[in-house]
Structure 1
Amino acid sequence: MSPTTSSTTRSADDSVPDQPSTKRQKTAESASSKFHDGLLEDSSREEIRKAFMESKPYLHCKIDKLMNDDLLRRVRKEIFENLHFTVKETDIYKVHQTGDLANLDGLPKDELERLSSLFELRNAIYSPEFRDFISSVTDSGPLSGTKTDMSINSYNEGCHLLNHDDVIGTRRVSYILYLTDPEDRWNPENGGALELYPVVEKGTPANEPTVIIPPQWNQFVMFTVQPGHSFHSVEEVVPEGKPRLSISGWFHIPQPGEPGYQEGREAGESKSSLEQLQEVKRICKIAKFAHYSSEEVEDDALTQETIESLSSWMNPHYLDIKILKQMADRFYDESAVQCKEILSKELFAKIQAVTAKMDHDQFKEDKIAAHGTGVGEGWATYGPPHRLRYMTLAEDQSEAGEAAKLFANLKAKFESDAFRQWLAVVAQLKPQGYRGQARRFRPGHDYTLATTNTRGQAVLDVTFCLATTPSVKASELWESGECGGYECYMAPHDEEEDPATYKAADEEGALLTMTPGCNELSLVLRDEGVMRFVKYVSARAPGSRWDVAFEYDLPEEEEEEENDS
């Protein structure tokens, strides 16, 4: 439901179920008054339970009015007046977030007084009465009263949360309480909707959601955390100055010492989305390397036949042996090199015109286009979205449009023996095989999450990028990175790091970040263990990030001689 927060186990007299007492009865009565009239009564409970049990694509429900309206308005006022939000951004999300609200217990008296309504709300949500309500509605069994897991999230312009299943540790029920402006009903065109995905098989969500729930004031949404099933995302918020404010968190299974605790179900039993991504067995279908017919390739110069073949589509500047030697020296020093204006003027102009028209017709700036936009004319959605989502060339090209035909032709160039020889000269490496795709990253929809090179040795990444740039302002926007679409290489993660989070692109783990160019080719030698992703392309982007991305298999590395410098 939100980026991970650190849950806290706390002690409170009314947190753990015990023997009935007058104090317990007063506490229950007090908690009931915090919620919307009649919500916790048997008739309401049964109605909500019925909707929950009949829901698709997995068990969830929406409660239109959860809290006492006056209390929630006071909470919203306290949040804006007294709390500080920190921007958090990784490959999977961008959000403004507070710290864990369980830490309210430790605040000095004067600070707690300024957040008294928020404190009241948190205690009501984790009260025995409301936990009993959640347990009976969801049939989830007993829920912990000592482990709270709750934070405030503000999804401002450009904020989003990509597909994941919320499975970490002892989480049992996910929830979100919306605090959008009570005087200004949220327009679904503003984005920010919660999207629920069916699964095509356990652990693999469908490419598009089947349930979309726009946020509204005092609305409460919850679902059972189900490994391999509870996949969801939060749509990007597009308008400026209209935050999607919410309180979200989890109810956990009972902890040691609590009624209902079962030994062996402690935190760590379930794997997080990141851990699942890093497992080779859980990666979506990836093509095997196709191998070249010959193992030998020249790496000192281009043959005349190769030059003639490449000159039909490549800028002649990059066929000059002096330029190639300069590029080879740079690649040797930096393990990366970028080539601007790589395509011939004629081919670039043709591709640019076709792609710009498609983007102009299908996407409007600052609007979230419907799921499925762009499908057809030789293009299909590729996933699964808990790992990646973008458009690629469909298997059936019988009705391919001009863009699909141009990119299919360009893709074939990257598979050719001529391009292989060109790579051998530039990188001083001898590719043995290749795999790759033509891709379209649509604004407001597409991305890849961080995946690791698990080949056991380095691979050569080669990517041709053509970001739609209808103006100088558009070029500057891509260059700034503010609308995403950039490609980021990251150092391997420390085993002790929180498995629920990723290193942000601007933190120490970033090895290389390349903003989307127009008619650019990049070569990067990616070592074993290095992670890589294409950042989610924002709805604010001036168009799509179109590219052709290949990996080239390299010969096994020979042991260096002792005296080799």
Structure 2
Amino acid sequence: MTNPTSPTNEHDEARPAKRARTAASATTTSAIPAVAPAMPALPQRPPELDAATVAACFTEGLFNEDYVQHLANNYKASHPYLHCVMHPLVREDLLRAVRAEIMGQLHFTEKETDIYKVNQTGDLANIDGLPLAERAALGHLHKLRNAFYSEPFRNFVSAVTGCGPLSGSKQDMSINNYRQGCHLLNHDDVIGTRRVSYILYLPPPDEEWKVEYGGALELYPCVKKGTPATDPTVVLPPKYNQFIFFTVQPGYSFHSVQEVVVPNDRLSISGWFHVPQDGEDGYQPMDVVLGPDAAPASLAQLEEDAAADNDETSEYPYRPVSTDEDLTADLSDADRAYLAQFLHPQYLTPAAMTKMNDQFCDESSLQLRDFFKPEIASTLAPLLNQADARDRLANGDAKALAHGAGVRAGWAVQGSPVKQRFMVLTGDSAASTESPECAPLRAAADLLVSPAFARWLYHVTGIAARGTRHRVRRFRPGLDYTLAAYSSTSATLDVTVALTPSPRTAWEEGEIGGYECYVAPDESNDDPAVYRAAGGNENDEDGGALLTVPADWNVLSLVLRDQGVMRFVKYVSGLAPGSRWDIAMEVLPVPDEEDAEDAE
């Protein structure tokens, strides 16, 4: 984690600014769009259970033709996309025995990436390979797993959903324990040969799981294919022995799991039924199965998203910098007078600018504490705290959180949630009375796009701008985040003013999220069904991150992001003391001579 730096206040003459080189992208990690790693097919199919044994595992009458038709009718009428909710599924005594084995015999590993935080077991397909004594200790779980992938139950799922035949040999099941702070953000489950997603809930069987505990499954409608709405329309809280399943629909089956905000175990068995594999009835070659709706590999998807994001038709385009002024000239008296209205005086001396340039060129990043002068900071802090209190987003009041919190004049929700969700400051003129924080935030943001600041930035970083884009952002607790994304076109200078007024100590360890993380993609992995956690190598003390910058108050962060380096703002926990606020600008550098030669 980088320590913010304050330069000295010496008044000697500044020398011409050097330009930093972008950091190498050596660490490998990748965004992860699903909780459980996809599981390879077993070497040989486990013994098939007879129909009577399978039926005895489930609630009485499950395979009754009338009941199956009833579920199929409900499935066809469901929204925002086709799904089935049923309760109960498993015979009570069997499920209690399964839960006891899970809690007593299995080891959970905490996993965290840009998209989730969860405690998870290994693949349950591996039970067959355990020594006899260990397999016997998981006898009830083993039996339930085999019942799930038995022919009668696969036929049941197929009949309800109309999805066609399902594989019995490719078993893809794991157990997830969502404890306090755990969550899974928006995704559509489209990876490889998955056909049906399912979740069997196992919270404490003798206690009611209350809605305010979180952990609900959220289903999102789509504005258009591939673009879910910012808010869900169906919210399904966990319930013991409740079973939810749906056909994986590319570009439509978007869902998420709310953060669990209490110290309880939200246990579930989840996984996927896959299309038939080679040698099974109904098998078709992969190109036929996947067709034009096949999900691209994770890295390819990120590249496509980046290309679209940088296009001139993007909703958030770069604006060319005016050529009417020399943005690499020395600061004029007028520049200094303008900047002095906002910046702390310690950052305007020639000696300070030289010192900052040295550090930035050495490290390709720089954090400047107390960036705005006290008069500006003292005006903003109470307004931002009041906004959080007004919207019931202060003091870790997670149980009061709701989609739509903070939506009022001056602010709008920015999606799509499959990539990001946060609030942005708008140009609404009615915001001055309803949202008094808007005007001073807008004035502070105007500073960043001024010619005077562009010249100051050049002398601090050695980077001249050819294009910029900026926005004021608010990341609400329990709701907002960005997922891993990067620029595929060129290096980018990230200029971010952190304006989170809640105590710094609450954010600095990263437990409640809100930090900005820079990571490098795993370019060696082009299989969309195989991912590595954002922690990277378990023996890597840095956890795979190139740089992590926590939410903070009145700190300017400058980071030169190389082409291909990804970044994200980690989901802000509902347990956070308030929103993460910032002013975020991206600068496209004018290529220097070395860059131009490399391009040739």
TM-score, length-scaled by structure 1: 0.93
2:310 matches 1:288: no
| Cα separation, 2, equivalents of 1:212 and 1:139 | 24
The answer (yes or no) to whether the contact 1:432–1:554 under 8 Å persists in 2 is: yes
2:254 matches 1:231: yes
Report the CA distance between 1:267 and its aligned residue: 7.7
Letter in 2 for 1:55: S
CA separation of 1:13 and 1:388: change in aligned 2, threshold 3 A = closer
The answer (yes or no) to whether the contact 1:315–1:345 under 8 Å persists in 2 is: yes
2:454 matches 1:420: yes
Corresponding residue of 2:437: 403
| Cα separation, 1, equivalents of 2:134 and 2:448 | 62
| Cα separation, 2, equivalents of 1:37 and 1:31 | 11
Structure 2 counterpart of 1:145, from 168, 191, 197? 168
| Cα separation, 1, equivalents of 2:462 and 2:295 | 44
2:116 matches 1:88: no
Aligned runs of 1:472-551 on 2, under 5 Å? 474-496=503-525, 499=528, 501=531, 503-504=533-534, 508-551=543-586
CA separation of 1:32 and 1:395: change in aligned 2, threshold 3 A = farther
Tell me the secondary structure at the aligned position of residue 147 of structure 2. Answer: helix
Larger mean CA deviation between 524-533 and 286-295 belongs to 286-295
Aligned runs of 1:232-247 on 2, under 5 Å? 232-240=255-263, 242-247=264-269
Unaligned 5+ segments in structure 2 are: 1-32, 538-542
Report the CA distance between 1:558 and its aligned residue: 1.8
- 1:30-78 C-alpha deviation (Å, 9 max, x unpaired): 1011001112211211111111111111010111211001101001100
Tell me the secondary structure at the aligned position of residue 133 of structure 1. Answer: helix
Letter in 1 for 2:108: F
Unaligned 5+ segments in structure 1 are: 16-23
Report the CA distance between 1:122 and its aligned residue: 0.3
Corresponding residue of 2:350: 321
Report the CA distance between 1:399 and its aligned residue: 3.4
Give me the CA root mean square deviation: 2.0
Report the CA distance between 1:477 and its aligned residue: 1.8
The answer (yes or no) to whether the contact 1:316–1:344 under 8 Å persists in 2 is: yes
Letter in 2 for 1:377: A
CA separation of 1:558 and 1:415: change in aligned 2, threshold 3 A = same
Corresponding residue of 2:420: 388
2:298 matches 1:270: no
| Cα separation, 2, equivalents of 1:164 and 1:283 | 19
Corresponding residue of 2:26: none
Report the CA distance between 1:178 and its aligned residue: 0.3
Structure 1 counterpart of 2:231, from 191, 208, 217? 208
Report the CA distance between 1:271 and its aligned residue: 2.6
Tell me the secondary structure at the aligned position of residue 546 of structure 2. Answer: strand
- 1:114-155 C-alpha deviation (Å, 9 max, x unpaired): 000000110111110000000000000000111000000000
CA separation of 1:283 and 1:148: change in aligned 2, threshold 3 A = farther
Corresponding residue of 2:494: 461
Corresponding residue of 1:378: 410
Letter in 1 for 2:410: G
Corresponding residue of 2:29: none
CA separation of 1:283 and 1:110: change in aligned 2, threshold 3 A = farther
Structure 1 counterpart of 2:398, from 358, 362, 367? 367
The answer (yes or no) to whether the contact 1:94–1:159 under 8 Å persists in 2 is: yes
TM-score, length-scaled by structure 2: 0.87
2:216 matches 1:193: yes
Tell me the secondary structure at the aligned position of residue 402 of structure 1. Answer: coil
CA separation of 1:277 and 1:55: change in aligned 2, threshold 3 A = farther
Report the CA distance between 1:159 and its aligned residue: 0.4
Corresponding residue of 1:50: 73
Report the CA distance between 1:8 and its aligned residue: 3.1
Report the CA distance between 1:272 and its aligned residue: 5.2
Report the CA distance between 1:282 and its aligned residue: 5.8
Corresponding residue of 1:102: 125
Tell me the secondary structure at the aligned position of residue 120 of structure 1. Answer: helix
Tell me the secondary structure at the aligned position of residue 47 of structure 1. Answer: helix
Report the CA distance between 1:276 and its aligned residue: 2.7
| Cα separation, 1, equivalents of 2:397 and 2:120 | 23
Corresponding residue of 1:448: 482
Report the CA distance between 1:29 and its aligned residue: 1.1
Tell me the secondary structure at the aligned position of residue 480 of structure 1. Answer: coil
Letter in 1 for 2:440: L
Letter in 1 for 2:508: E
The answer (yes or no) to whether the contact 1:151–1:248 under 8 Å persists in 2 is: yes
The answer (yes or no) to whether the contact 1:178–1:247 under 8 Å persists in 2 is: yes
| Cα separation, 2, equivalents of 1:298 and 1:431 | 8
Tell me the secondary structure at the aligned position of residue 279 of structure 1. Answer: helix
| Cα separation, 1, equivalents of 2:368 and 2:330 | 18
Corresponding residue of 1:248: 270
Give aligned-pair identity as a percent.
47
Tell me the secondary structure at the aligned position of residue 183 of structure 1. Answer: coil
| Cα separation, 2, equivalents of 1:537 and 1:407 | 21
| Cα separation, 1, equivalents of 2:277 and 2:290 | 9
Structure 2 counterpart of 1:355, from 384, 388, 392? 384
Work out the number of aligned pairs and report it. Answer: 546
| Cα separation, 2, equivalents of 1:249 and 1:59 | 17
The answer (yes or no) to whether the contact 2:398–2:477 under 8 Å persists in 1 is: no
Corresponding residue of 2:156: 133
Letter in 1 for 2:57: K
Of the two structures, which has the highest relative contact order with CA contacts closer than 8 Å and spacing of 6 or more? 2
Tell me the secondary structure at the aligned position of residue 418 of structure 1. Answer: helix
The answer (yes or no) to whether the contact 2:519–2:545 under 8 Å persists in 1 is: yes
- 1:430-470 C-alpha deviation (Å, 9 max, x unpaired): 11221011000000010000101212x2111100011131x
Corresponding residue of 1:63: 86
CA separation of 1:172 and 1:274: change in aligned 2, threshold 3 A = farther
